[in-house]
Chains A and B, each alone.
Chain A
Amino acid sequence: MSKERIVEEVVAGIYKDYPWVWDKFGERGKEKTIEDNYHHLDHLYTAYSTGEAQIFLDYTDWLVTVLTSRGVGVDLIVDNFERLEKSIPGRLPQKEAEAYLNYLQQARVKLET
């Protein structure tokens, strides 16, 4: 399924580019990253199907609290969202993909300010 392909690509990229993430969090960390990325996609879908971008932005706020308090910095969340933006096009229907990219960009702007 396209969702699995997206998550696979994003997670493989993170662990390839940042080997220290593996050193710090190990196998359990990788499982969590996979779980988190499915969760990101679930919230993107919810925002898309309801037309409420705010659902994804609120989720991002929640995610920042949960992850930064567990030693995962905002920079990694931004990086993860960027990877989703690269991985989504062509794997989902165009209209849906465009909406996802829009929500991800809005969330990144919020995270980077």
Chain B
Amino acid sequence: MELEPRLFAEHLLAGDDVAALLYVQKALEHFSHTDVYEHVMTPAMYHVGDLWEQNKITVAEEHLATGVCDFVLAQIDHRDPPAAEAPRVLLCCLEGEEHYLGLKMAASIFRRYGWHVRFLGPTLPLEHVLKDAAQFQPQVIGLSGALAYRIPQLKASVETLKAETNADIIISGRTALIYDLGAQVGYAAATIASLEALENWLEDGNEGTANATI
């Protein structure tokens, strides 16, 4: 079986949640969850974004695609409860950042590795991240900023979180793939450039690696 993100994107844009889910379930017979996230869902959603850029689909269709992709992602997510002593990760998008699907995929990968995951979704003001982190006491906080113009905000947020929590900070998002985000935020955070990189980071054990750019 060859992975066909364009075909999956067609199901998303048609609002066909059944076909989209069946496609992914079939893919999972041959590929890992991370493969499906990285090589089906992510490129499919990038394609949807490109179609919007080119005015070939409407904003409504883009939202429909996001909703169906979110549904599929939830259906195939891992839901065994983590061990009480398992590490904790808090994941959120910066204030104003609506692109949360990539981070939701990251949440799913953390769960598969047995972590306690607190996924806080899109556009969360930093003060609420801090409040929540004070309660949840995560070892790792993951921030996502998909768009380039979030870099200054991402940098400031990392600095605040480093100063006010004990967590290691990881950052991700499409921007991380294009620009050297690690250099921008300095050594305060680890850049996770892809979901596969996240999986490697989790497999290798992340102790003491949070200062590396992955």
Which residues of A come within 8 Å of B, CB atoms? 39, 42-43, 45-46, 49-50, 52, 54-55, 58-59, 62, 65-66, 69-70
* B184/A50 in contact, CB under 8 A: yes
Q: How far is the CB of A45 from chain B (nearest CB, A)?
A: 7
A45 near B55: Cβ-Cβ < 8 Å: no
Complex Cα gap A54–B175 (Å): 12
Question: What chain B residues lie within 8 Å of A69 (beta carbons)?
Answer: 53-56
Give every chain A residue within 8 A of B56 (Cβ-Cβ).
69
Instruction: Determine the distance from Cα of A59 to Cα of B149 in the docked complex, in whole angstroms.
Output: 9
A65 touches B53 (CB 8 A): yes
Of A46, A59, A66, most buried by chain B (CB within 10 Å of CB) is A46
Evaluate contact between A65 and B54: CB separation under 8 angstroms.
yes
User: When each residue 39-68 of chain B gets 1 if its CB lies under 8 Å from chain A and 0 otherwise, what string results?
Assistant: 000000000000001111000000000000
* Nearest-neighbor residue (CB-CB) of B56 within chain A: A69
Q: How far is the CA of A54 from the CA of B184 in the complex (A)?
A: 14
Q: Which residues of B contact A (CB under 8 A)?
A: 53-56, 148-149, 151-152, 178-179, 184
B149 touches which of A42, A65, A66 (Cβ 8 Å): A42
Tell whether, in the assembled complex, residue B178 and residue A58 are in contact, meaning their CB atoms are under 8 Å apart: yes
- Dominant secondary structure at the A interface: helix
Most interface-central of B149, B151, B179 (chain A CB within 10 A)? B149
CB <8 Å contact, A43 and B152: no
The closest CB in chain A to the CB of B53 belongs to A65
B179 lies within 8 A of A70 (CB): no
What is the distance, in angstroms, from A68's C-beta to the closest C-beta of chain B?
A: 9
Residues of B within 8 A of A62 (CB): 53
Residue of B at shortest CB range from A46? B149
**Pair B55/A46 contact, Cβ less than 8 Å:** no
Contact A49 B148 (CB under 8 A): no
Q: Is the CB of B54 within 8 A of A49?
A: no
- For the complex of A and B, the 8 pairs showing the least CB-CB separation, nearest first, are A69-B55, A42-B149, A46-B149, A65-B53, A55-B148, A49-B152, A69-B54, A43-B149
Partner of A46 from the list B53, B54, B151, B178 (CB cut-off 8 Å) is B151
| B179 and A50 contacting across the interface, CB-CB below 8 Å | yes
CA distance A70 to B152 in the complex (A): 30
Q: Which residues of A contact B148 (CB under 8 A)?
A: 43, 46, 55, 58-59
Distance between A55 CB and nearest chain B CB, rounded to angstroms: 5
